[in-house]
Amino acid sequence: MPEVWDAIVVGGGHNGLVAAAYLAKAGLKVLVLERRRIVGGASVTEEVFPGVRFSRLAYSAGLLRPEVIRDLDLPRFGYEVHPFDPQFFLPFPNGDSILLWNDADRNHRELARFSKRDADAYPKYVAFWTDVMELIEAMVLEAPPALSDLMALFRGAEAEDLARRVLLSSAADLLDEFFESTEVKAMLATATTIGLPAGPRTPGTALMLGHMLLHEINGVKQTFGYARGGMGGISQALAKAASHYGATILTSAEVRRIVTRRRRAAGVELADGRSMEARNVLANVDVKTTFERLVEPDGVDPDFLARVRRIKATGVVTKVNCILSELPDFTCRPGKTVQPHHRGYIDVCPSIEYLEKAWDDAKWGEPSREPFLDCVLHSVTDPSLAPPGKTTLSVYSQYSPYRLRTGSWDDRKEEVGDTILETLAAFAPNLRHTVERREVLSPLDMEREWGLPGGCIYQIDMTPDQLLSLRPLPGWSSYRTPVPGLYLCGSSAHPGGGVTGAPGRNAAMVVLGDLRVAPV
Ligand SMILES: Cc1cc2nc3c(=O)[nH]c(=O)nc-3n(C[C@H](O)[C@H](O)[C@H](O)COP(=O)(O)OP(=O)(O)OC[C@H]3O[C@@H](n4cnc5c(N)ncnc54)[C@H](O)[C@@H]3O)c2cc1C
């Protein structure tokens, strides 16, 4: 008799590992199959150049749910995160710059340099989002409520106005309500369109301002930071936890087919020809790949398949990972030795208009001529990542449309890499001669190497029409799929992308509930 697993998880991204750990901890026999030679998916640290390790895709920590950290006892398996401080540094073309710290008084002084009114408004803005995000946070670790139930929470004129501001407004409109200074608004807008095919003036982007506040590090809310060992440090801790609780993890194990028997998930077939049987299959791989390529066509209803094909997955990001021979020397804050502004996010986004114009280019299939950049010098806070004297520079850049109007990504990615680095060099000119080596990862690379459809960083778009009970499709936000025994446990499912562990945990809970097995 062939071995039958209780659950096979297709994909060893961080959510697949979270799901596997919860299921194994509850006593199930679990197998994780990862196509790449290393687990972690988009949350991975790899030695790209000899002796230098990069968080190749995801680059900042703080979203992993505290419940997941606690339930899986992750610190015991090497999980360690620390806050950035300062959180943000934005240089401006006029030679000024802004820093956002983890200290209210310091922030008040810093913001008041740009506008006293904005400095006073900032705590009110944070309090506004804190209240809203408490509502949202309550929905993160459960299947989302039906849209009608969600809307029923907003009864009365005041609540309706809140729904308008939070769910329907653009980020720019909401920031205009609170602030007047170009620089303060620019700093806060950086978070709004991360990974989205949208600009800060696109309706519905306001919610992302709050989404970013779901970050929490070591009990301190609304804090971004770094993981020891890079983002792969988180995935490695999860893999160790999953193995400890009894899961088996195989890498270089590409699933070619999810096998159904009598219309129920029954196992998988690997690209190398091996077959494995399972009572349940959890797809950590995205929903489009799952149904468009892995489930046999006669195993799924054609109408459902047609709806899956219409799910949007839009790549807009290029990532550039560089080795530097010295620290970036910013004109506005000179110096090549470590200073506070080297320790957190370094963003190029001088204004909301700048960000919107960057999106304008991409709408028509052109990489932004003046891109938005979100950079981190990981080796400054974690020297284990690079040898002495070398610095890692991670540049996340928008917008890079997957579908180019002219040329192909293979032909154009180095040119786009040049534009990105030149954009940063305008503020730190020594970059022009300190980049020793670099890798440029286009949306096409993200699709080919990590399986992200269309290079979409969240597997599928996190636009309002694909969030909450609409994710991945209306009627299918419960992690179950039309194929009994097949579940979604990756970021295609609620609450979506980011290294949260939430889809993985939620899916595991649904599987355990369906099997009538109590979680441990
Ligand atoms: C450039 C970039 C920057 C980002 N920055 C951040 C950030 O700073 N902070 C943050 O919190 N989030 C960030 N994100 C988002 C975050 O990384 C993802 O949302 C998250 O890692 C997704 O995890 P997942 O487990 O759901 O899926 P994935 O990471 O997509 O994992 C899916 C796994 O399935 C595997 N797979 C695919 N096909 C097969 C197959 N046929 N057989 C077996 N295995 C298969 C893949 O190799 C992959 O390992 C970023 C993402 C990108 C791309």
The token duo for 516 is: 């009538």
**pLDDT, tens only, 128-159:** 998 888 888 889 998 899 999 999 989 999 99
Q: Which two tokens stand for residue 465?
A: 């029409």
Q: What is the pLDDT of residue 412?
A: 98
Q: Are 16 and 282 in contact (CB under 8 A)?
A: yes
pLDDT of residue 220: 86
Positive or negative: CA dihedral 102, 106, 110, 116: positive
Please tell me the distance between residue 379's alpha carbon and the centre of ligand 1 in angstroms. 22
Q: Provide the mean pLDDT of the chain.
A: 96
Rounded to the nearest angstrom, the distance between the alpha carbon of 232 and the centre of ligand 1 is 11
Q: Give the residue carrying structure tokens 């029954």.
A: 266
* 57 within ligand 1 shell (Cβ under 6 A): yes
Q: Of 237, 124, 100, nearest to 179 (Cα)?
A: 124
pLDDT (0 to 100) of residue 112: 98
Cβ of 403: how many Cβ atoms within 10 Å?
12
For residue 192, the model assigns a pLDDT of 87
Q: What is the pLDDT of residue 40?
A: 98
Domain boundaries, the chain: 4-81+230-312+459-515, 99-214, 313-450
For 99, the token pair is: 């820093």
Residue 484 has a CB neighbour count (10 Å cut-off) of 14
Q: Is 498 in the pocket of ligand 1 (CB under 6 A)?
A: yes
User: Cα dihedral angle (267, 311, 150, 483), rounded to 10 degrees?
Assistant: -20
Closest to 281 measured CA to CA, from 261, 259, 301: 259
pLDDT in tens, 74-109: 999 999 999 999 999 999 999 999 999 999 999 999
Residue found by looking up tokens 């459809």 in the block = 453
> Ligand 1, residues 284, 291, 319, 479: which to mutate, most atoms within 8 A of Cβ?
284
The pLDDT score that the predictor gives to residue 413 is 97
C-alpha to C-alpha distance for 315 and 459, rounded to whole angstroms: 9
DSSP per-residue letters across 100-165:
E-S-HHHHHHHHHTT-HHHHHHHHHHHHHHHHHHHHHHTTTTSPPPPHHHHHHT--SHHHHHHHII
Q: What's the pLDDT tens digit per position in 336-345?
A: 999 999 999 9
Residue 315 CA, ligand 1 centroid: distance in Å: 13
Q: Which two tokens stand for residue 10?
A: 């297709």
Q: Is the CB of 494 under 6 A from ligand 1?
A: no
Predicted model pTM:
0.98
pLDDT at residue 211, as a whole number: 73
| Closest C-alpha to ligand 1, atom 36 | 11
Atom of ligand 1 nearest to the CA of 441: 1
Contact status, residue 44 vs residue 289, Cβ threshold 8 Å: no
User: Among residues 481, 487, 1, 477, which one has the least CA distance to residue 279?
Assistant: 487
CA 75 to chain centre: 21
Instruction: Give the pairing of strands 4-10 and 30-33.
Output: parallel
Backbone Cα Rg of the chain: 22
> How far apart are the CA of 363 and the centre of ligand 1, in A?
24
Task: Name the residue with the closest Cα to ligand 1, atom 41.
Answer: 255
According to the model, what pLDDT value does residue 516 have? Answer: 96
Q: How far is the CA of 416 from the centre of ligand 1 (A)?
A: 23
Residue 103 backbone dihedrals phi, psi, to 5 degrees: -145, 120
Nearest atom, ligand 1, residue 64 CA = 11
Looking at residue 299, what is its pLDDT? 84
Fold of 4-81+230-312+459-515: FAD/NAD(P)-binding domain (3.50.50)
- List average pLDDT for each run of 10 residues in the chain, which is 520 residues long: 92 98 98 98 97 98 97 98 96 97 96 98 94 88 91 92 94 97 96 93 92 82 93 98 98 98 96 98 98 92 96 98 98 97 98 98 97 98 97 98 98 98 98 98 98 98 95 97 98 97 98 96
Q: Pocket of ligand 1, candidates 33, 57, 269, 346: which has the most ligand atoms within 8 Å of its Cβ, to mutate?
A: 57
Q: Whose CA is nearest to atom 3 of ligand 1?
A: 58
Predicted local distance difference test score (pLDDT) of residue 409: 98
pLDDT at 424: 98
pLDDT at 137: 87
38 Cα to the center of ligand 1, angstroms: 12
Helices (H) and strands (E) in the chain, counts: 18, 20
What DSSP string runs through 438-503?
Answer: EEEE-HHHHHHHH--GGG-TTSS--SGGGSGGGSSSTT--SSB-SSTTEEE-STTSTT-SSS--HH
Within a 10 A sphere around the Cβ of 149, how many other Cβ atoms? 10
Which residues are paired to 295 by β-bridges?
Answer: 258
CA distance 278 to 259: 9
**Residue bearing tokens 């998916």:** 41
User: Would residue 512 be called left, alpha or beta, if left means φ above 0 and alpha means ψ between -120 and 50 degrees?
Assistant: alpha
Going from the Cα of 450 to the center of ligand 1, the distance in angstroms, rounded, reads 7
Q: How far is the CA of 501 from the centre of ligand 1 (A)?
A: 11
